[in-house]
Amino acid sequence: MQYRNLGRTGIKVSPYCLGTMMFGAIANADHDECVGMIHKALDFGINFIDTADAYSQGESEEIVGKALKGRRDEVVLATKASLPMSDDPNHRGGSRRWLTRAIEDSLRRLQTDYIDLYQLQRLDTETDIEETLSVLTDLMREGKVRAIGTSTAPASDIVEAQWAADRRGLARFRTEQPPYSILNRSIEREVLPTCQRYGMGVLTWSPLAKGMLTGKYRKGGELPDSLRVKYFPKAMTDEGSLDAVEQLIPLAENAGLSLIHMALAFAVTHPAITSAIIGPRTPEQLDHLLVGAEVQLSDELLDQIDQIVPPGVDVAPLERAAYIPPAIAQTSLRRRALMERAVI
């Protein structure tokens, strides 16, 4: 396993990061099986594990905690916070009130006294970024966190956070976790160059485009019975994505690769990418993903991929998972108040 630098943190991590979103009630509630998968990944040489408090409402973190008993020092452990953990409006976000509670909950579930990488699963636009960075800096000084990062943040917010940290002498975000795959390449335009400029590590999620790059979803074929179809019906039936897949499959076959292994190798080829997060649900899926860990793509093959999906372009819709700026998501920010319009 060729380990890579996680930005400029001095931490070395594997090119594959084991994602655990599928561990728990959402997909695989068999704790023993999930623990076994984590152990297999560690034995293979993967030393990077990513989870989140919101994954099955903490159950994923509990499974990871069980698996790391006696092996904690082998692992670069990443988790995330900020998504809702209950109906209480204060049990979410990037406030000092919530993050000081959220970190303690995660540490308890993970059965550890520190987190290597603590990430905001989504930036909280209702909380001043200096407030958020201030509490994260305090958590680092207390020894509960080693490094901090963001997830699915636009380049402009990454830059503003870096400036705020510099202005106030606060800890700065060292990593970003965006979506990236052959079918989702828009981060190549601004996010990846911005991360390189600030020396940030990048761990990408959904390198298989929510499963579209597994080869199970074919144009004109029947949809498989899967969680992805349930949660992402538009994404899994998108005509543009299916058209691209039909061109990518023979390309992979001609190179002697499966579509999955070509897609994963693509995701870790970009020089700005540190690790790609793999998210298996079953031991069989994990085995298949690990088989392709040493695959490297030639420049010729990468050029052919570029012809199918041009650099910087999103073909697949990031349904329910994309970052949508408040200025777009909130109707009230796009329309003047009724009384104001009446005056005008």
Look at residue 211 in the predicted model and tell me its pLDDT. Answer: 87
Q: For 178-189, write each residue's pLDDT tens digit.
A: 999 999 999 999
The two tokens of residue 316 are: 């697949």
In this predicted model, what pLDDT tens digit does every residue of 166-206 receive, in sequence order? 999 999 999 999 999 999 999 999 999 999 999 999 999 99
The answer to whether residues 267 and 204 touch, using CB atoms and an 8 Å cutoff, is: yes
pLDDT at residue 237 greater than cutoff 80 = no
d(CA 162, CA 133): 10
28-45 residue pLDDT tens: 999 999 999 999 999 999
pLDDT of 246 higher than 90: yes
What is the rounded distance in angstroms from the CA atom of residue 67 to the CA atom of residue 200? Answer: 28
pLDDT attached to residue 228: 67
Confidence of residue 340 (pLDDT cuts 50, 70, 90): low
pLDDT at 322 over 70: no
Range of the domain at 148: 4-343
pLDDT of residue 319: 57
**176 beta partners:** 150, 202
Pairing mode, if any, of strands 115-120 and 145-151?
A: parallel
Q: What are residue 19's phi and psi, to 5 degrees?
A: -90, 145
pLDDT at site 338: 56
pTM: 0.90
Alpha carbon distance 307, 77 (integer Å): 37
Structural domains counted in the chain: 1
pLDDT at position 147 over 80: yes
Query: pLDDT above 70 covers what percent of the chain?
Result: 92
pLDDT in the model for residue 133:
98
CATH number at 185 reads: 3.20.20.100
Q: Which residues are catalytic?
A: 55
Range in 116-125, 175-184, 233-242, 292-301 the model is least confident about: 233-242
Structure tokens at 46: 């993967």
